[in-house]
Structure 1
Amino acid sequence: MTLKELSVGETGAVAGYTPSARAYRRKLLSMGLTPGTEFRITRIAPMGDPVEIQVRGFKLSLRRDEADALQVEKR
């Protein structure tokens, strides 16, 4: 499942990264999105880009390409 499949208010956890996401993987890891990290969707822009999540006590906005790089599991 990817991040864009979740709705506002739903929670999830980072399960991993897509194999083609090498360019974004290091960036996402440095922002605290390590496997097992829980997050909550707080906002989604009207056109779906960007998505705002709350993770580790701060809010983070991810563009569609970055969000597609994340594999998540719904909690």
Structure 2
Amino acid sequence: MTLRDVKVDQTVSVVKLHGEGATKRRIMDMGITKGTSIYVRKVAPLGDPVEVTVRGYELSLRKADAEMIEVK
């Protein structure tokens, strides 16, 4: 399951980051690493972006980036 599939008001844990190079590095720089807890706050009406809370701060992710984050 990816972060894009998670419903609003659910908390999940990161299992693996997919993607390569600069994109993966950018996601990791935002604090999203293996084992991190992510709370899904809101999803825009068309599904893009997804607003999450990570490590105590709010973050908006594009659908493409959310699909690269495998969660459980």
- Which category of TM-score, normalised to the shorter sequence, fits these structures? over 0.9
Aligned to 1:49: 48
Can you give the 5+ residue segments of structure 1 that lack an aligned partner in the other structure?
Answer: none
Q: How many residues align?
A: 71
Separation in structure 1 between the aligned mates of residue 41 and residue 27 of structure 2, nearest angstrom: 18
Q: Percent identity?
A: 41
**TM-score normalised by the chain length of structure 1:** 0.90
Tell me, yes or no, if structure 1 residue 37 matches structure 2 residue 36.
yes
RMSD across aligned C-alpha pairs, in angstroms?
A: 0.8
| Deviation beyond 6 Å, 4+ runs, structure 1 | none
Can you give the 5+ residue segments of structure 2 that lack an aligned partner in the other structure?
Answer: none
**TM-score normalised by the chain length of structure 2:** 0.93
Contact 1:24 1:69 in 2 (8 A): no
